[in-house]
Amino acid sequence: MLSQWESSTNASPGPSAFKTQRQHARARARTHARAPTHQVRAHEQEPPAAAAPRDAMGAFSRQRFFQELTLGCLLPTAQQGLEQVWQLLVICLLCRLLWMLGLPPFVKHLFTVAGGFYTLYLFFELHMIWVVLLSLLCYLFLFLCRHSTIRGTFLSITVLIYLLLGELHMMDTTNWHKMRGSQMVVAMKAISLAFDLDRGVVASVPSPVEFMGYIYFVGTVIFGPWISFNSYKEALEGRKLSFSWLFKVSVSWVKSQVCLVISNCVAPYLFPYFIPVYGDKLLRGWLLAYENTMSFHFSNYFVGYLGETTSTLAGAGFTEEKENLKWDMTVSQPLNIEFPRSMVEVVTSWNLPMSRFLHTYVFKSALKFGTFSAIMVTYTASALLHGLSFHLGAVLISLGFITYIEHVLRKRLAALFNACVLSKKCPPDCTHRNKGKLWVCVINVAFSALAILHLTYLGSVFNSSVDYMEEEEDDVTHHTIQKWSELSWTSHWVTFGCWTLYRLVL
């Protein structure tokens, strides 16, 4: 089965400091912008009819708004973005240079562990002990069960129990959530290694220092992404510095900062200041939901591109074909998400490394229970890895139903009309008779529009004004239900309608 069923709908692994930074930057922007005018969010306060008499003042307000936004949000966001990670970037570069010195592998692993420990302390201080405990637990399990052939399954259960107990009993939820990204990276690395040992991809249990080097690889320990054990070993071989490597690092860094600025300073004010669209109460609700969705999306892209930067800077994230080295690590594909062909394409493009992890180690293992069961197990596993959060669980489980129903419906329509309307784009040599006809394009565009609707609806719960780390779970649950109620549960009703249509044409 294709890896189209997996996703990581939560923002990718990363420290909570950037969330606080985004809230402070937005607060400054709102304070500066609202001081000269009360129109910053005029579309939420006045009906459309009131917009016309305010054209002259509106132009002045918009101009003043952009000036204040630059000083109060754009510049502080870029500055703080660099302040938060410059030490991490330096450590990644130092490790990259060390790999090239021809040191013994044992010494390289030690330097990796030291760099990872120092980085964890920079971001989490003494709370990093919980990440260390998880890694020790995983290695102890692998060592004690080194002769077993089902280590992957049992270690997965053990890790999930540890994560759930940690969130519920070991420490307060707020501090636990701050480390959730790094906990996820450690968990996925250990689980993938266990499955690779079962399948013979990795010959034997690594030594303790080799295992810890992989777990605490400085390029991925904070922002991810997940990489395999063999990819880590290839990174330590120390490829030569090249222009393509430097270009990849630079481009990923610039993209990460652009996405951070858009998430902080553009998306929250998209309507009507950047796009002058007004509307009645219903339309304003959807416009606000789209703003929240855009802010959440670009926050994810920021972490994804930052993960590309750190992992590539540390020497990982390349492919090699016939002595041709390509630094081509890709975490997210924003164009496939903002202009989707289908929701199936969205969930695979959201976080490509995690999608591969879920497909390889969860979906394939659960496929013996049936396709639909494997899909739901995959999304449930993703939800548990992200922690006990109602809004994330609700979004992920909803995605499971949405992507499955969309896939089977479009598969049925493709067979019925002999047309290229599948969830994933057909290859040029496919056997469908109807390819580029107008009505085929209309069907595909309609499903693209549905995907945007689903994304807006699901993303509406990720409100930038709500701190999910500080809020009680009951408040988060109430917020999620309230947001979807305000949008009349549209996405769920549309999904039910698609399932009904599928049953009718079956």
3-state SS of 375-426? HHHHHHHHHHHCCCCHHHHHHHHHHHHHHHHHHHHHHHHHHHHCECCCCCCC
DSSP E strands, 101-172: none
* 256-to-306, 307, 452, 463 alpha-carbon distances in Å: 6, 9, 23, 21
Q: Do residues 227 and 353 lie in contact, with contact meaning Cβ atoms separated by under 8 Å?
A: yes
d(CA 297, CA 143): 40
Q: Could you list the pLDDT tens digit for every one of the 506 residues in the chain?
A: 333 333 333 333 444 444 444 454 444 444 443 333 333 333 333 333 333 333 443 444 777 888 888 888 888 998 888 999 999 999 999 999 998 888 899 999 999 999 999 999 999 999 999 999 999 999 999 999 888 889 999 999 999 999 988 888 777 777 888 888 899 999 999 999 999 999 999 999 999 999 999 999 999 999 989 999 999 999 998 888 899 999 999 999 999 999 999 999 999 888 878 887 877 788 888 999 999 999 999 999 999 999 999 999 999 989 888 778 899 999 999 999 999 999 999 999 999 999 999 999 999 989 988 889 999 999 999 988 888 788 888 999 999 999 999 999 999 999 999 999 999 999 888 889 998 899 999 999 999 999 999 999 999 998 755 555 555 666 788 889 999 999 999 999 999 999 999 999 87
d(CA 199, CA 180): 28
Whether 479 is catalytic is no
Q: Whole-model pTM?
A: 0.86
d(CA 138, CA 158): 8
d(CA 91, CA 115): 7
Q: Do residues 181 and 13 lie in contact, with contact meaning Cβ atoms separated by under 8 Å?
A: yes
* 91-to-76, 220, 375 alpha-carbon distances in Å: 24, 12, 39
d(CA 494, CA 172): 39
Catalytic residue of the set 43, 109, 386, 391: 386
